[in-house]
Amino acid sequence: MACVHDIVQDGFCTHCKTAVDTQHHAFIPFYYLKNGLEFRPEYVGTMKRHVWMKSLMEKKLTLVLSLHDTLYDSRPVSLLSEKEKYLTVEVESKSDDMWRSKNGMTLCKLRPFAREFLLEANKLFQMHVFEHSHPEHRKEVISLLDPQGTYFGKRIITYRDSEMKNLDLVLAEERGVVILDDKLAHPEFSYAEERIDEDAEDGGLANALELLKEVHRKFFTEKDEDLRDVRALLFPLES
């Protein structure tokens, strides 16, 4: 039987070692998993179904996270308001929750409850990162939040992999995927100008975690596996 070339690495089928024209066969690049790795579209569907069955057995859904604005924030020093400029001095004495970028031109800060959020979410979800922020900032944040790859592993999708945020490269069926992207939930005022911070115990991330726990609970409470769909739980009026 001829090889169907499900998996291609650096232009060659990993099974029969034959050279494969991946563009002609519309292979999907999964370079975030391994550079040069490409999957046949039908194989991607098979993988997603496999993850679906695995998630049901392990009772773990898939969570796709944006880092910027969700787990951390950043601001060019040049754009700080007069009331925020004290941060350029304070950052030197802060813990690793706030830091300057390597070029010194940007201040970055972890969101309160970020570490606790990941610790708890990891118990219920397999997490992916879909991040289009500056590569330097992304690497710094991940090195702080997940230095051992405990939460994200290699599941970090960037602009290099996809110019638009979508679930094509997430190896999971959409009925088991929750997306958390908090970029539209900015307060109308600056916490920094008021010299305060978001409430860690009752802020956006803490509330998001409670919602995720509730979605997880309801999803696995449904006895009919064919009816389990996170979209119906998150958007009941649209289902």
Confidence of residue 186 (pLDDT cuts 50, 70, 90): low
Mention every residue, 6+ apart, whose C-beta is less than 8 A from residue 89. none
> Residue 178's closest CA among 65, 55, 72, 71?
65
C-alpha–C-alpha distance, residues 218 and 8, integer Å: 39
Per-residue pLDDT tens for 128-182? 999 887 788 888 899 989 999 999 999 999 888 877 778 899 999 999 999 998 7
Residues in the chain: 239
Q: Is domain 59-234 in CATH 1.10.10.10, yes or no?
A: no
Domain boundaries, the chain: 59-234
Q: What is the pLDDT of residue 207?
A: 93
Confidence of residue 190 (pLDDT cuts 50, 70, 90): confident
Q: How do strand 37-39 and strand 61-65 relate by DSSP bridges?
A: unpaired
Q: What integer is the mean pLDDT of 27-37?
A: 94
C-alpha–C-alpha distance, residues 106 and 138, integer Å: 13
**Token match 């110019």: residue?**
163
Write down the mean pLDDT value for the chain: 89
C-alpha–C-alpha distance, residues 83 and 169, integer Å: 42
Q: What is the pTM of this model?
A: 0.89
C-alpha–C-alpha distance, residues 181 and 66, integer Å: 5
